[in-house]
Amino acid sequence: MTLTIDWLAFIEVFVAALLAAVVVVGSYSLGLRLLVRAGRVPVVAPAEFTDAIAVITEKESKRAAKAAAKSARKSPLTAQQRQVAAVGAYVCFVLCGLAVLGGLMLIILTR
């Protein structure tokens, strides 16, 4: 019994995984960047977990919200530019979601 490796299939899977990772991470990070440029900085409320190592305090959450509001006021973009940036951010998030769903469909449908 000999063990053979299909190197072409290995390279195909490697390239597909690498491209998928670049598309998902790249589109999500670009979407966050555009969202911040649009003046809509995402501030996440602190979560209370019983076994959390570090929990954001309410004071830190208020400070982050204040910094986000200050950042939105200091934006050098016009209202139309901020709107275009927000639409671009949502398009990036949709692209990220479609890439994840496409990967899941490949896994489910090729079984």
Q: Look at residue 98 and tell me whether its pLDDT is greater than 80.
A: yes
Looking at residue 23, what is its pLDDT? 92
pTM of this structure: 0.69
Average pLDDT estimate for 59-85: 81
Nearest to 43 by CA among 30, 56, 52: 56
Amino acid making up residue 55: V
- At 51, is the pLDDT very low, low, confident or very high (cuts 50, 70, 90)? low
23 Cβ neighbours under 8 A, 6+ residues apart: 95, 96, 99
Weakest-pLDDT range from 15-19, 35-39, 74-78: 74-78
